[in-house]
Amino acid sequence: MSRSCDGLCIGGAARYGLLAVTIETIVSHMTTPPTSAKPYTIDEMISAKAIAARVESLAREISEHFADTEKLVVVGLLRGSFIFIADLVRELDLPVEVDFLEVSSYGNSTESSREVRILKDLRGEIEGRDLLVVEDIVDTGRTLSHVLDILGTRHPKRVEVCALLDKPSRREVEVKARWIGFEIPDRFVVGYGIDYAQRNRNLPHIGAVRFL
Ligand code: IMP
Ligand code: MG
């Protein structure tokens, strides 16, 4: 397939003249949003077409990288990666097993509660296996870093990470995904599986939340 990416490539989202970060963006990072949720609108940041084109090229690179694998265990981090993983695995030209891991997020809570707990563990054994961890967004990097620590204790053969979105300006912990779909500015985003207060996961594109 030769789907164009509408001129939007890695890092291209930053060129869309998006508004600077607001205090509301920071508030919206909380796991439990305020009960009196403020009205907001969603500005399209990455089109469905651009996502599809990028997923296709990521899958090509991943398939080449793991070409010699006996079987690749694709580990989706719930819930934000569910649409991304569904699209990505269908483009992988490899023998694949799909598994899911759900960990607690910490939102903007205090340092002491900044541990990541497993809410839903993998079903399969990963010792000696090739793993691809699929994440929706790498923000501070804390979730991914903890997940990699947890998975590392189970002695997989190889572990690589593919993240749909990366917000490098927010990083607090040094962690790197080998494959990144799009680098984005510090905006709170929704759609293509990603939520704000459990809403907007079903948007076909990625959009930035803007409070009215
Ligand atoms: P980190 O641990 O700070 O890297 O955050 C990782 C998780 O926070 C992501 O997997 C998302 O679930 C969530 N998150 C970070 N930024 C956003 C956003 O802009 N919209 C929705 N969820 C986000
Ligand atoms: Mg997540």
Give the CATH number, domain containing residue 124: 3.40.50.2020
Protein residue with least CA distance to atom 10, ligand 1: 137
Residue 8 lies in a domain: no
pLDDT digit of tens for each residue in the chain (212 aa)? 333 333 333 444 444 434 333 434 444 444 444 445 789 999 999 999 999 999 999 999 999 999 999 999 999 999 999 999 999 999 999 999 999 999 987 655 444 456 789 999 999 999 999 999 999 999 999 999 999 999 999 999 999 999 999 999 999 999 999 999 999 999 999 999 999 999 999 999 999 999 99
Which residue type sits at 194? Answer: I
Residue 12 lies in a domain: no
* Closest residue by Cα to residue 142 from 109, 184, 173: 173
The residues facing 101 across adjacent strands are: 77
* Closest residue by Cα to residue 21 from 187, 165, 209: 187
The domain of 66 spans 23-30+38-211
Residue 88 lies in a domain: yes
Per the structure, how many domains does the chain have? 1
Residue 92 lies in a domain: yes
Residue 62 lies in a domain: yes
Residue 204 lies in a domain: yes
Residue 203 lies in a domain: yes
Protein residue with least CA distance to atom 9, ligand 1: 137
Residue 65 lies in a domain: yes
Task: Kindly report the pTM of this predicted structure.
Answer: 0.83
- Check if 140 has its Cβ closer than 6 Å to any atom of ligand 1: yes
